[in-house]
Amino acid sequence: MDIVVVGGGLAGCEAAWQLAERGFRVRLFEMRPFVRTPAHSTALLAEVVCSNSFGGEGDTGAAGILKAELELGRSLILSCAHKTRVPAGGALAVDRDRFAELVSASVESHPNVELVREEVTAVPKETTILATGPLTSSAMAKSLGELIGESYLSFFDAVAPIVTR
C-alpha cells in the first residue's frame, strides 16, 4: 500500500520514516525548492528554521518525556539530533545544517521512500498524512479552508515570544 506524506519538515520526515521502516511504500512530497517559503533557505528536508533547540532532556518535563517516547520508537529525527548536537546546557540543540543534511540523506536513501519535489495543492485521494505545518503553501491552505471551513484553520506557536522591555 502506498501512503502519501505531504511536507518534508520534522513531522513529515518522521512520519515517512516510521511508515517506511514498517514496510509501507511512502511518497513524500516537499514543495521546496520550487515553491519557497519566507523562512526556509535551503531545499533540505527537516530544515530547522526557528530555534535549533529541541528542549530539555530531563525525564520530568514534557519535552524530555516526548524525547524518551521517541527513543522507544526509534525516531529518525531524534537519532539525527543526537548525532548533530551542539552544546546547549540541559537542552538538546543541533547544528542546523548537519542535522538537515543527515535527515535528508537518511530519508532519500530509504528504499521505501520516494521523494517527490512538487507542491501539493489539494488533499490527495490516497491515504495521506498532511504535515505541512505553518508554512503550508497558500494553495494548500485555500484547499483545506474549502474542505473543512476556513474558521477551523489556526496555527499556534509552541514558543511564546520573549519580551525584554
Q: What is the pLDDT of residue 68?
A: 87
- Which triple of cell numbers denotes residue 20? 517506511
pLDDT in the model for residue 163? 46
Distance CA 69, CA 63 (A): 10
Q: Is the peptide bond before 134 cis (omega within 30 degrees of 0)?
A: no
User: Is 32 part of a structural domain of the chain?
Assistant: yes
Question: Distance between CA 10 and CA 8 in Å, rounded?
Answer: 7
In a domain, 164, yes or no: no
Q: Which residue has the higher pLDDT, 154 or 11?
A: 11
pLDDT top residue among 21 and 148 = 21
Amino acid at 111: P
Query: What does the DSSP 8-state code read for residue 135?
Result: G
Residue 105 covered by a domain: yes
pTM: 0.89
| pLDDT above 60 (res 164) | no
Tell me the sheet residues that pair with 116.
Answer: 29
Q: How confident is the model at residue 32 (pLDDT cuts 50, 70, 90)?
A: very high
Count CB atoms within 10 A of the CB of residue 103: 28
The phi and psi torsions of 6 (rounded to 5 degrees) equal -105, 115
Write out pLDDT tens, residues 53-97. 888 877 677 778 888 888 899 999 999 999 999 998 888 899 999
Evaluate whether residue 118 is within a structural domain: yes
Task: Answer whether residue 24 is part of any domain.
Answer: yes
Which CATH number fits the domain that encloses residue 42? 3.50.50.60
Residue 57 lies in a domain: yes
Q: Pick the residue with more confidence: 27 or 67?
A: 27
Per-residue pLDDT, 121? 95
Q: What is the pLDDT of residues 123-142, one digit of tens each?
A: 999 999 999 988 889 899 89
Taking the C-alpha atoms of residue 149 and residue 165, their distance in angstroms, rounded to an integer, is 39
Question: Structural domain tally of the chain?
Answer: 1
Residue 158 counted as domain residue: no
Which residues span the domain enclosing 18?
2-152
Residue 144 domain flag: yes
